[in-house]
Amino acid sequence: MHAAWLGATLLLGAGTALAQFHPLRFDDDAGAQRQRCGEDDKGAACWKDRPVAAHRLLSNVRLSVGGDLRLRHEYADNPRYGLERQDRWGVLMQRASVFADLRFGPHWRAFAQLASSTANGRAAGPSPVDENRLDPTNLFVEWQATRDGAGSFGLRAGIQELQFGAGRAIDAREGPNVRRSFEAVRAYATGGPWRIDLFAAAPRLNRQGSFDDARSSTQALRGIYATRTGALASWDVYALHYEDATARFDQGTAHERRWSLGTRLFGRSDAWDWNWELAMQGGRFGIARIHAWSLATDTGYTFKGVAGQPRAALLLAVASGDKDPGDDRLGTLNPLYPRGNYFGDEATLGPRNFFNIHPLLTWRLAPKLQLNASLDFFWRHSTRDGVYAPNGMLIRGAGDSRARYVATIASVGTTWTPAPGWSATTVLAYGRPGAFLRETGAGEALGFVSTSVQYRF
């Protein structure tokens, strides 16, 4: 019911959709979108940066309205390598959201985004990232002081999505049906090539009802994230402090206090592009000391002289695992709040205690059609630690197995963008369990297929 009325609201903005969309919709440039109002777009563009009234007292008040609708069906044969119940026909998911962005002159802003996510067909019932019938994903006020040509400073408080860098540590979780939000206070400053963000946040706990999400009482995140943009190469540096009163690892359950120091180097030069990130972690897990680290690299080459300009890339990554669950030291990396589909759409494995070799290929078969193919070889970094899901849940403990090989996952998919704002994707994946999964009772081959259609305005 809730998704139905949200979907109807979205259709009010139908007309030619707009192309200038950002992963976080409050980052959209509504002024640029409105430039198409009265040209080839009579619908959605005219709802951007719209004056609220002609009265002189309201002349500086402007409103932007937008939203999105996504329909997705997925079917997994032997979900989680046989560890989860088999769905009969697969899972049909829908997600809809609408937002209103109200600006009061050049300094003040109020942003509200309401979302509805539903799922049908999962044998074990919908998970927390499958269904959330109606709740705000963004509900904040913002103040910004501008300095002509010299940057800006701003402060934002309320419910908000957070996403930094490549989403390896903090991400809005676009892949799953329910996106991730925080209750946060965020200050930011820009000047020249720099942007600096400071924030204090707690994640919102997703519940399946309406207006029943709540701030987590056990988790907290604070940090500073800085980005310097360059012509050839750009880089991020960040420091984060994370706390979880009920953290669980293969070593056990305890109060976790963890800091992370990281840096990311990214850019492109002619046909080459790169995105490399290093993070070091310390802190306490109960009485145990934390010493963990990760390195992720994504290096690609685009064949510009070939039709469709295929890009071949090699992703190499490693995240530390715990060497001895019985000692007073925890070596397992905690990726904090990473992308939901970290390694692929099948979303079975998460970035803890692993190293992988992941070649991939993207190829534009037609102006609006892209092919994506990849092969991921996955091992455990430490044979004394287990394997974890993307949400951090322990899938299989180490037990008595000393096998290192976890799985090989092959996938192929297409992305079709028939018109601005519209996209359709199809993914086929096959996962072959390695020695570790077989020895710990997860020995069934995984088959996965998904199709999705999304519209944004």
Give 406-454 pLDDT, tens digit per residue. 999 999 999 999 998 899 999 999 999 999 999 999 999 999 999 999 9
Q: Which two tokens stand for residue 351?
A: 């970035």
pLDDT for 391: 87
Distance, CA of 7 to CA of 15 (rounded, Å): 15
**Vertex 70, ends 165 and 39: CA angle to 5°?**
85
Distance, CA of 383 to CA of 218 (rounded, Å): 30
pLDDT for 36: 75
3-class DSSP state of 450: strand
Say if strands 354-366 and 329-330 run parallel, antiparallel, or are unpaired. Answer: unpaired
For the chain (457 residues), the mean pLDDT of every run of 10, in chain order, is: 46 47 91 72 74 71 94 96 92 97 93 97 90 97 81 95 96 95 97 95 95 96 97 95 94 95 97 98 97 98 96 98 93 94 91 97 97 97 94 91 97 95 96 96 96 96
**Amino acid type, 272:** W
171 half-sphere exposure, CB direction, 13 A CA radius: 20
The two most distant CA atoms of the chain are separated, in Å, by 75
pLDDT for 350: 93
pLDDT for 148: 64
pLDDT for 250: 86
What number of helices (H) and strands (E) belong to the chain? 4, 23
pLDDT for 51: 84
For residue 161, the Cα-to-chain-centroid distance in whole angstroms is 10
Give 74-97 pLDDT, tens digit per residue. 999 999 999 999 999 999 999 999
Distance, CA of 237 to CA of 77 (rounded, Å): 41
